[in-house]
Amino acid sequence: MAVNRDKPDSWKKDIAKSVDMYNDWFMRFAPKTFRETRVLTTREVKATLQLTNNFTKINSEILRENPTILPTLRMATCPPLASDRLCGLAGVSANLVKRMENEKKLPVRMSDTALDLALGKIANVFAKMADIDILVWLSRKVQLAKKTEVHRAATIIADRLCGAVASPIIRNAQEKRQLAAIKTWLEAHGYKQLFTGDGVGFDTMPRGTFGFHMNVPAKLEDGTRSVNIPIDAIISPKKKTENIFPVFFEAKSAGDFTNTNKRRKEEAMKVTQLRNTYGDKIRFNLFLCGYFDCGYLGYEAAEGIDWVWEHRMDDFTKFGI
């Protein structure tokens, strides 16, 4: 039985309440996050400037010894470069760039020769695309930077980097807050949380339990390979039902309507893989807070995906929970 997906007349009212809830959280949380991120990124930029002699010395050796400076370099070009764009321009592997950016390390299986060549290509991209309107000293014959110029450049680059870094921080904080809200509601209704170390799979969960970030194996469309699909929250109802599977929920939050419409196919792909593996009895739903418009909701409803609004959590009971 559908809970919210078959009630389009109430969608606009719920959207307005959900947007208000997200904005209230954002106004209280985001300023603190941006201030903290700004302090951190400014330090990183200044450290990079010092390591590279104000961007006048960037080569494979510098990058090998300091892989952490890559995000700052990307924000110091004109235009600033996304990670995948840097890979394309430099002709280097995405694995190299991702490892440098996400893990602050270099690939361990890459030969020294191949690594030096790839890092040299990255350095060449920066040399060609450095933003001389910010790094004004690079356009002079004698590339000596004044203290005020360095400070101004560091501030601008930090602003660019701050925006890129803060958004994932906000998304992660929202997910943690949403899962904490689910946990509080479930425990208040007599549910017990399972943890990774308990050794319980999604299909062996005792009744009246729940788990976060659990993997569900599913077959790909070709039927020859399988993948682990991470599910944010899996809940095994206390009451015995005909359905042998627990209820799945993905925690979703969004600060604008544009991004939700870009991401809406992700859920449809997940539910398709799950149903191809386990059949139509799989109950895959969303836990929503923020900017989800009628277009997004209609798309998900057409895929048979239902949802609970965070501002009305008692709808969990309508899923048999």
Q: How many residues can be counted in the chain?
A: 321
Top CATH class of 8-28+171-319 equals alpha beta
Q: What pLDDT is stored for residue 68 in this prediction?
A: 92
Of 167 and 172, the one with more pLDDT: 172
The mean pLDDT value for 159-184 works out to 88
For 293-303, what is each residue's pLDDT tens digit? 999 999 999 99
pLDDT of 23 > 90? The answer is yes
Distance of CA 18 to the CA centre of its chain: 20
Q: Which residues are CB-neighbours of 186 under 8 A, at least 6 positions away?
A: 193, 210, 235, 316, 321
Using a pLDDT cut of 90, give the percent of the chain over it: 64
pLDDT band at 13 (very low <50, low <70, confident <90, very high): very high
CA within 13 Å, CB half, 56: 14
Of 115 and 279, the one with more pLDDT: 115
How large is the C-alpha radius of gyration of the chain? 24
Q: What pLDDT is stored for residue 223 in this prediction?
A: 63
For 247-273, what is each residue's pLDDT tens digit? 999 999 988 887 776 677 788 888 888
Q: For residues 130 and 153, what is the distance between their CA atoms, to the nearest angstrom?
A: 12
> Taking the model in full, what pTM does it have?
0.73
End-to-end CA distance of the chain: 13
pLDDT band at 159 (very low <50, low <70, confident <90, very high): confident
The mean pLDDT value for 296-321 works out to 95
- The residue whose two tokens read 């943890």 is 195
> Where in the chain are the domains?
8-28+171-319, 33-167
pLDDT of 34 > 70? The answer is yes
**Cβ atoms of residues 12 and 294 within 8 Å:** yes
DSSP-derived secondary structure letter, 109: S
